[in-house]
């Protein structure tokens, strides 16, 4: 198995080469090379787009256990100042997928040397941050040929200390929907607003008005979030902008709340077009299913509570999204948080710096847990 030093080196190499969803060419190459070096005659390695599926054939299999890691980075400029910071301009592993991949590779390298009793399917999935690799991968012939009986995955958690694993039965992560709103008016001179049709003002009203959906349309005992993460408009202080493009994401705990919010985003956009006498187009991007932990999570919770190597915390639901929800919609399993102690800078922060000590903790806990699950079946 990888030793601590190899884990650190692997993580740092991956950290330097973040790539966006379905562009993970270097990442895939790196992973394939690392897997090839494991040189085991009971591994079957197949690629699916920029992802990889590795089947570890068990010696006396009664089940197939799936373990998934995501492999893509984010469109962000890293500001950590670390010596192994991203070498790809405008790209960063700011959501821990470099950790996730390193952990998956390390666990795989262990089973490449110690043949498991059951089959293990390692899923290196592209495009979690968007446009979403899980859904098409799940439906691919390749995945279906080796579909696991149950599967699980982890996500780093900056708010928990190293050594902590946290999860809960049922809903863990929210339903998500990306949307883009394009407003088109008439540009002009800053001194003559009455002759133009200002899309900065229209977009500002849109952004403010949609916040009232959460405050006034969602049952206070339910929950929703609407975040506009990007606005693009205008060229100069004295030119009235003829267009504004906004991008946002909706998060809800229920599918009903999701439909309601989406409906109101459309209505408000139409209202803005009417009152500002402009054109509007609402475009929907990827929509992820909630992450729902099946009863299988109980075995992980019990095992983690009993283990002296980790500290188990019952976690709250989170408004983060994860396309692993598509796998869990069809296959029993669960997701859990892994503490990486980056309190000042969280996920999607240009300065997030998770503690690498969490990697061996996760690797050993995963191997112990998988071994325990395989022993139960004998």
Ligand X SMILES: CC(=O)N[C@@H](CCC[C@H](N)C(=O)O)C(=O)O
Catalytic residues: 70, 129
Say how far apart CA 92 and CA 17 lie, in whole Å.
Answer: 8
Which of 10, 246, 293, 320 binds ligand X (CB under 6 A)? It is 320
Spell out the alpha helix ranges (H) of the chain: 4-16, 25-37, 97-113, 134-139, 141-145, 199-216, 255-276, 297-306, 324-330, 358-376
**21 sits near ligand X (criterion: CB under 6 A):** no
* Interface pattern 198-237 for ligand X (x via CB under 6 A): ----------------------------------------
Shortest distance (Å) from residue 174 CB to ligand X: 8
Shortest distance (Å) from residue 290 CB to ligand X: 12
Shortest distance (Å) from residue 31 CB to ligand X: 20
Binding to ligand X (CB under 6 A): which residues in 257-316? 286, 288
How far, CA to CA in Å, does 184 sit from each of 79, 81, 112, 187, 197?
A: 35, 40, 57, 9, 9
Is 97 marked as a binding-site residue? Answer: yes
How many helices (H) does the chain have, and how many strands (E)? Answer: 10, 16
Among candidate residues 159, 140, 209, 165, the one with its CA nearest the CA of residue 320: 159
- Do 281 and 181 form a contact (C-beta atoms < 8 A)? yes
Q: Which is nearer to ligand X, 10 or 175 (CB)?
A: 175
Which of 118, 178, 198, 242 binds ligand X (CB under 6 A)? It is 178
- Do 72 and 126 form a contact (C-beta atoms < 8 A)? yes
Which of 65, 181, 347, 361 binds ligand X (CB under 6 A)? It is 347
Binding to ligand X (CB under 6 A): which residues in 66-105? 95
**130 sits near ligand X (criterion: CB under 6 A):** yes
Q: Spell 348-371 as b/e; 16+ CB within 10 A means b.
A: ebeebbbbbebbbbbbbbbbebbe
* H or E stretch at 68: strand 64-70
Which of 164, 176, 262, 304 binds ligand X (CB under 6 A)? It is 176
**51 sits near ligand X (criterion: CB under 6 A):** no
Reduced to 3 states (helix: H, G, I; strand: E, B; else coil), residue 128 is: coil
Shortest distance (Å) from residue 64 CB to ligand X: 26
Q: Which residues bind ligand X (CB under 6 A)?
A: 95, 129-130, 155, 176, 178, 249, 286, 288, 320-322, 347
Report the binding-site residues for Mn(2+): 95, 97, 129, 155, 348
């Amino acid at each position: 198995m990888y030793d601590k030093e190899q884990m650190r080196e692997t993580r740092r190499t991956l950290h330097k080469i973040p790539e966006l969803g379905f562009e993970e060419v270097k990442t895939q190459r790196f992973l394939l090379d690392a897997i090839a070096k494991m040189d085991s005659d009971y591994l079957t390695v197949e690629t699916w787009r920029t992802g990889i599926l590795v089947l570890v054939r068990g010696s006396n299999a009664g089940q197939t256990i799936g373990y998934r890691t995501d492999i893509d980075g984010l469109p962000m400029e890293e500001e950590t100042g670390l010596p192994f910071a991203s070498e790809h301009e405008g790209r960063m592993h700011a959501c821990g997928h470099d950790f996730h991949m390193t952990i998956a590779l390390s666990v795989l390298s262990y089973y490449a040397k110690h043949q498991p009793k059951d089959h293990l399917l390692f899923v290196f999935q592209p495009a979690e941050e968007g446009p979403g690799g899980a859904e098409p991968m799940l439906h691919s012939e390749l995945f279906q040929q080796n579909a696991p009986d149950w599967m699980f995955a982890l996500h780093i958690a900056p708010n928990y200390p190293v050594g902590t694993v946290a999860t809960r039965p049922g809903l863990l992560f929210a339903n998500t929907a990306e949307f883009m709103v394009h407003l088109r008016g008439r540009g002009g001179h800053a001194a003559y607003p009455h002759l133009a049709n200002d899309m900065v003002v229209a977009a500002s009203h849109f952004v403010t008005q949609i916040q009232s959906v959460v405050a006034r349309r969602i049952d206070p005992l339910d929950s929703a979030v609407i975040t506009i993460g990007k606005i693009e408009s205008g060229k100069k202080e004295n030119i009235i902008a003829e267009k504004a493009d906004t991008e946002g994401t909706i998060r809800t705990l229920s599918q009903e709340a999701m439909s309601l919010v989406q409906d109101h985003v459309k209505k408000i956009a139409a209202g803005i077009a009417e009152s500002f006498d402009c054109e509007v187009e609402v475009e929907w991007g990827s929509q992820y299913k909630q992450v729902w932990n099946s009863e299988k999570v109980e075995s992980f919770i019990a095992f983690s509570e009993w283990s002296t190597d980790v500290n188990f915390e019952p976690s709250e639901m989170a408004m983060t999204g994860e396309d692993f929800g598509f796998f869990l919609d069809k296959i029993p399993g669960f997701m859990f948080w892994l503490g990486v102690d980056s309190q000042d800078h969280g996920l999607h922060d240009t300065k997030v710096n998770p503690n690498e000590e969490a990697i061996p903790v996760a690797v050993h806990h995963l191997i112990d847990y998988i071994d325990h699950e395989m022993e139960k079946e004998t």
